[in-house]
A and B are shown apart, each in its own frame.
Chain A
Amino acid sequence: MSDITNRPSDSDRFRGSGGKYDRSSSKTKRQNGYNAKVKDKKLKAGLKRIDQQYKDAVSEAVATEYLLPESSGFLEAENEMEKTFKVKQDEIRGAVDSSTANKALDLKLREFGPYSLNYSRNGTHLLICGRKGHVASMDWRKGQLRAELNLNETCNAATYLQNEQFFAVAQKKYTFIYDHEGVELHRLKQHIEVKHMEFLPYHYLLATAGETGWLKYQDVTTGQLQAELRTKLGPTTAMAQNPWNAVINLGHSNGTVTMWAPNMPTPLARLLSARGPVTGVAVDRQGRYMATTGADKSMKIWDIRTFRQLHTIENLPTPGSGVTISDTGLLALSRGPHVTLWKDAFRSSKLARPFFGSSGQVERNTPYMTSIFPGNRVTNMQFVPFEDLLGVGHQDGVRNLIIPGAGEANYDALELNPFETAKQRQEQEVRTLLNKLPADSIALDPNVIGAVDKRASAARLNAKDLALVTDQKANESKTNQDIPQADPSVKGKNSGLRSFLRKKTRNVVDERKLRVNALLSKEKEARQRNEKVKRGEIEEGHTDLVSEALSRFG
C-alpha cells in the first residue's frame, strides 16, 4: 500500500537537487553569477566554499529522508466509481487500526455549548471551551482530565500557550491565564472583550482581538503588553496567525483581511477578500497560502507571497463559517453542519480550484472528504498536530474526524515532540525561552535578518553612482533644488512654497528665504491672474504693460 503513496512524493523529492530542502533555489543562481564578478580572490574562495557547504547540506538533508520512520496516511479510490468524499466516518473507523479508531474522540456535552477546541502545539492535550463557561484541559489520548473549570460567564475562546502547562481563556470581559490545574494565574485586564486569540510560540506573544477592534500583543514571559494596534475596522470577525512569519491575519466585517506585526501601527498588507464580513481565515504552515471565507457565501484562496488571488468560489450553498489548512495542505471548510475537505487546492492551475459538488467532469477538484453534523453547527476546527485527525468543535461538544493524509507523519523531536516526557518538556521550555525572538522582529519576510538589504543605496549602487547621489544630496540646498516649484493652481494655504517656509522657521532672513518669498508672491500673482481670466475680467494673453514696466524696480 505504502509504495503507491510514496511514488508521487518520491518523484517530487528527487526532482531537483534538493527539492523542498533547497531554501533559495532562485537565489543560488544569482549568487553564482555574483561569484563570477567578485575580484577579490580570498572573498571569492570564501563564497565558493560557503556555496559548496550549502549544497552539501541540502544533499545530506535529502539523503536523510530514507531514514524517516513513518509514512503519511491516504484515502484512495480504487476505481472510477468510488468517490473518496462518499466515505463515512463509520466506514473509516472500521477500516483503520484500533489505535487510530480510538483517537476519533467524540465528546457529547449538551449543556454548555457551543464548544470551541484547541490542541496544544505537540498535539498531546486538548483544550475545550464551552461558550457558557465550561473549560476543560485534558490529555485526550490517555483520557485524563487535567483541569476543568466552570466559569459561569461567557467564554469566547481558549488557547494553550507554549505547552499544555498554561492556557488563556477569553471570558466575558477580561482574558485570564490558567495553569495546568486550572488555577487562575493572571487576569489580563487590558485584553477586553476578546473573541479570538493566537499564541505566537517563538515570540512568546499572546495576540488577542475581538469586539473592541484592537489587536493586542502580550509578552507572556515578562508580562508586558508589547503592542496595542488599533485596526479602525470595527469588531474583528476572524483571526489566524501565519506560522511561517508570525504575522497576524485579521478578518473584518467590511470584507478586508489585514496583516499585522507588533512594530507597525498600520497593517503590513490589506486584502479585500469578501463582499461581506470575513468569517474565517487560515494560513498554511509555510506561510504561502491563505484561505478565507466570507458571509457573502464566498471562499477565496490567496497566494500571500505575491498577494495574488488563486481561486475564488462564489455562491456556496450557505456561507462558510471557518476554514483551516492541514500540515499536508488539506483545506477544510465548515459551513453550518457540514465539514468539507479538499486536497491540492493550492495549485494555481484552474483544475485545482475547489469544486463544490460531486457531479461534473473527472478533472474537477471534487472534495476529498465530507462530513455532516446533522441538526448542529460547527463552531471551530483544528487539525490535530502530527495526527490524521481534524478536531471539530460544535454545539453539542467536540469530535475528532479521521482524515487520512492530514497530518505530518514524521515529527522532529527537537522541535515538537508528541511523546515528550516531563523532563523533555521542561528542557524544551528553557531552550525555547533562551531562543525567544524579539517581538519587533516580526515582518513579512522571516529571513530578513542576516540578509543583504538590497534597497540600501550603499548596497544597490556602485561607488561612482553612490558618490554622485550623496554629492547631490549635500549640494541640494546650495543649488536651491530643494525649493519647490511655484504652482499657481493650488490654493494659497496648500502651496508647497508656504509649507516649505513653515518648515524653515528659523528667524533668519537669508538669501534663500528671500528667494522663496519672491517665488511665493509670484505664485500669488499668477493665481490671481488666473482667477481673473476665469472670471472673464481679462483675457488669456493680456499683459499689464504698466505693472510690467514697473516690475523692474520692484
Chain B
Amino acid sequence: MKIKTISRSSDDYVPVKSTQESQLPRNLDPALHPFERAREYTKALNATKMERMFAKPFVGQLGYGHRDGVYTIAKNYNVLNKLATASADGVVKYWNMSTREEVCSFKAHYGLVHGLCVTPEQFSPNKNENYMLSCGDDRTVKLWSVNTDDFSSVKNEDELVSSGSGIKKTFHGDHAFLGIDHHRSKPHFVTGGAQINLWDVNRSRPSSNLSWGADNVSTVKFNQNETDILASAGSDNSVVLYDLRTNSPTQKFVQKMRTNAICWNPMEAYNFVVANEDHNAYYYDMRNLSRALHVFKDHVSAVMDVDFSPTGDEVVTGSYDKTIRIYQVKHGHSREIYHTKRMQHVFQVKYTMDSNYIVSGSDDGNVRLWRAKAWDRSSVKSTREKNKLEYDEKLKERYKNLPEIKRISRHRHVPKVIKKAGEIKQTEIDSLKRREKNERRTNKAMEFVPEREKQIVGFVHKYKNEKDSRDGSRHDK
C-alpha cells in the first residue's frame, strides 16, 4: 500500500528570522478563487470612487499673475519647468513652474503682445540664457534674452560670458503682428498679421512673403517634426499649409467659422488639430483635408486655444465659456472639464513638456497650473503603491463600460451657466437634426453630409504652376 499525505514543513512557510519575508505561495487555479469577476468588479468600482475622491485638478497659480489678461503663452520645448507668458498690457513674464515664481518680467511692447515664442536651444548662447521672440501691436518683433541661474554650476566650454538679459534685437515691420513662431532648427521665424512673413534672425527685413490671398493671418505654427511645414489660420476662416522647402503655400481649406489656434501632433507629424469658433476642435490629416479625422465636441462657446500633450494622445482645449477640457484623441467627447469660480475666458492652454500639467492663461490675468490627470500625484511612490495604481488603472479600463462605474467616472460638477448653455445647445442641435430629418423625408435627393465634413466649405491644393491647381471644393462635386 502506498500512502502519502500533504506534509508542509512550517519551516518552509513561516519566516525564521524577523527580517525574513514570509512565504506567500500562489496558486492560480481558478477553483481557489471564487467570485473572481464579481470581486474584480468591486475592486474596479472602489478604484473609480478613489479616483474621484482624489480628483483635485487645480495646483495653483504662477506668482501673482499678470495685471491684464493673459493672451499668449509660449512653451520652452527644451526645459521642463520654464514658461513665458505675455499679457495685454505689453508685459512679458518668464516663469519657473517648479517654484511657481517669476524669473523675470519686463514691458516688451506698447499695447497688446500678440505673439511669443521661446527660441530653440541651439540659438541661445548657453543653457542659462534663453532667447525669446515677441511681437505685438506696435509693429515690432523683439528678440529677448533671459537669464536663469538653473545651470549655474554647468560650465560652458568658453566661460559663461553672458551679455546679460534684456533686449537683443528689434525687427520693424509694416503692420501689426498677430502671431509668431520659430523654426525648430534653422534661424528662421514666421510672423502673421496683414501678411505672413518669413524672417531670418540675422536680417532686419523679412526674407519672403508667403501670403496666399490677402487677409489677416492670426496664428502661425511650425511643425516640430517635419520642421519645414508650417500652418497658419486667418480671419477669412481659412487654414493654410506652407512648405518652406519650396518657400510657398501648398494647401488651403476654408471652414465655416474662424480658426483660433492650431497645434501639430508631436507624434504624428502630418496630423494637426484646430480650435474653431463654432465650439468644436477639429483634428485633420494634412494629406486629406476634405474631412476631419475627429471632431472634439462639448464646449459651449468658441474654443480659443488647443494644445497636444507631448505624448500625442491627448488634447487640451481652452474656451471662451471659461472652462478647460481634455480630450483623448480617439474620443470625440471630453474626458475632463476644469473650471474655477474666478477663471474668466480661457485664451491660452498649454501642456507642459512632461505632459503631467496644464497651464492656462485667462482674461483675469492669472496663469494657472493644473494637473493633466486630476487624481494623479507626482510625489515619489513606493513600488507597492505604484503597482496598486497601475492595477487600478487596468481595472478601471476593463470595467469602464459597466453602468455604475461609467456613471461615477463620468460625473463632473459643471457650473450652472455652462450646464444650462449645454442644454440649450443640445436642444438647438436636436431641433436642427429633426428639421433635417423632416426635410429629408420629402426630399430624397438631399445630400447627406457627415459630421466630420460639415464645417468644411472647401479646400484647394496649390502647385507651382497655377494651371494645375485643383479645386476640391465639396460644392463643385
Q: Hey, which bits of chain A sit against chain B, CB under 8 A?
A: 1-2, 4-5, 20-21, 23, 61, 64, 68-78, 82, 84, 87, 91-92, 95-97, 99-100, 202, 243-246, 285-287, 327, 386-388, 402, 404, 407-419, 421, 424, 434-437, 441, 446-447, 449-450
- With A410-B25, A424-B22 already in contact, the answer to whether A99 and B7 are too (CB < 8 A) is yes
B3 touches A450 (CB 8 A): no
A388 touches B43 (CB 8 A): no
B33 touches A402 (CB 8 A): no
On chain B, the residues within 8 Å of A246 by CB distance are: 35
Structural contact, A92 and B3, CB atoms closer than 8 A? yes
Q: How far is the CB of B45 from chain A (nearest CB, A)?
A: 10
By a beta-carbon cutoff of 8 Å, the part of chain B in contact with chain A is 1-10, 12-14, 22-39, 41-43, 46, 399, 402
Chain B residues, Cβ within 8 Å of A417: 24
Answer whether A387 and B2 are a contact pair too, CB < 8 Å, given A408-B32, A412-B32, A449-B38.
no
- Given the known interface contacts A202-B35, A408-B32, the answer about A387 and B24 at a Cβ–Cβ threshold of 8 Å is no
B5 / chain A contacts, CB cutoff of 8 Å:
73, 96-97, 100, 388, 402, 404
A402 to B4 Cα, complex, angstroms: 10
Q: Is A95 touching B29 in the complex (CB atoms < 8 A)? A: no
Q: How far is the CA of A74 from the CA of B5 in the complex (A)?
A: 6
Residues in B neighbouring A61, C-beta threshold 8 A? 28
Chain B nearest CB from A140 CB (Å) reads 14
A449–B6 CA distance with the chains assembled, in angstroms: 37
CA distance A435 to B8 in the complex (A): 30
Q: Which residues of B contact A245 (CB under 8 A)?
A: 34-35
Contact of B27 with A449 in the complex, beta carbons under 8 Å: no
Supply 9 A–B pairs (Cβ within 8 Å), ascending by A.
A68-B25, A78-B1, A96-B4, A100-B6, A100-B7, A202-B38, A202-B39, A245-B34, A434-B46
User: Which of B14, B25, B36, B38 touches A441 (beta carbons < 8 Å)?
Assistant: B38
B37 in contact with A446 (CB, 8 Å): yes
Chain A-chain B contacts (Cβ-Cβ < 8 Å), number: 145
**In the complex where A82-B1, A446-B38, A449-B37 touch, is A411 in contact with B402 (Cβ < 8 A)?**
no
Given the known inter-chain contacts A437-B42, A447-B37, A450-B402, please indicate yes or no for A76 contacting B28, CB distance below 8 A. no
Closest 9 CB pairs of A and B: A413-B24, A73-B5, A388-B5, A419-B13, A61-B28, A410-B27, A412-B27, A76-B2, A95-B3
- Contact A449–B41 (Cβ < 8 Å): yes
Contact, CB under 8 Å: A411 / B32: yes
Q: Nearest B residue to A22 by beta-carbon distance?
A: B30
Q: Is the CB of A69 within 8 A of B26?
A: no
Q: Could you tell me if B6 and A437 are in contact, using CB atoms closer than 8 angstroms? A: no
Instruction: Give the CA-CA distance A418 to B29 in the complex, in Å.
Output: 17
Task: Assess the A415–B32 pair: CB atoms within 8 A.
Answer: yes
The listed residue (A387, A419, A421) touching B6 by CB distance below 8 A is A387
In the docked arrangement, what's the CA distance between A61 and B26, Å?
11
User: What does DSSP make chain A's interface, helix, strand, loop or mixed?
Assistant: loop
For A57, the closest partner residue in chain B by CB is B28
- Do residues A64 and B28 form an inter-chain contact, with CB atoms below 8 A? yes
CB B130 to nearest CB in A, in angstroms, measures 42
B42 near A388: Cβ-Cβ < 8 Å:
no
Write the chain B residue with the least CB distance to A443: B38
Please tell me if the beta carbons of A415 and B33 are within 8 angstroms of each other in the complex: yes
Return the contact of A21 from the options B3, B4, B30, B46 (Cβ within 8 A). B30
Q: Are B43 and A435 in contact (CB under 8 A)?
A: yes
Q: Are B2 and A74 in contact (CB under 8 A)?
A: yes
Q: Is the CB of B3 within 8 A of A404?
A: yes
| Nearest neighbor of B29 in chain A, beta-carbon distance | A20
Contacts of B14 in A (CB 8 A): 419
Kindly name the residue among B5, B8, B31 whose own CB sees the greatest number of chain A CB atoms within 10 A: B5
A250 to B451, CA, bound (A): 60
> Which residues in A have their C-beta under 8 angstroms from that of B4?
1-2, 5, 71, 73-75, 96, 404
Q: Tell me the smallest distance from the CB of A13 to a CB of chain B, in Å.
A: 10
Would you give the shortest CB distance from A68 to chain B, in whole angstroms?
6
- Which chain A residue has the least Cβ–Cβ distance from B40? A450
Most buried by A among B6, B13, B28: B6
Q: A74-B4, A388-B5, A436-B42 are in contact. Are A450 and B37 (CB under 8 A)?
A: yes
Provide the residues of chain B in CB contact with A1, threshold 8 Å: 2, 4
How far apart are B155's CB and chain A's nearest CB, in angstroms?
51
Tell me the complex Cα distance, A408–B25, Å.
Answer: 13
Cβ contacts under 8 Å, B29 to chain A = 20-21, 410, 412
Is A407 a contact partner of B6 (Cβ separation < 8 A)?
yes
Of chain A, the residue at the smallest CB distance from B46 is: A434
Contact, CB under 8 Å: A450 / B31: no
Q: Which residues of A contact B2 (CB under 8 A)?
A: 1, 4, 74-76, 78
Whether the Cβ atoms of A285 and B41 lie closer than 8 Å is: no
Residue in B10, B12, B22, B27 whose Cβ sees the most chain A Cβ within 10 Å: B27
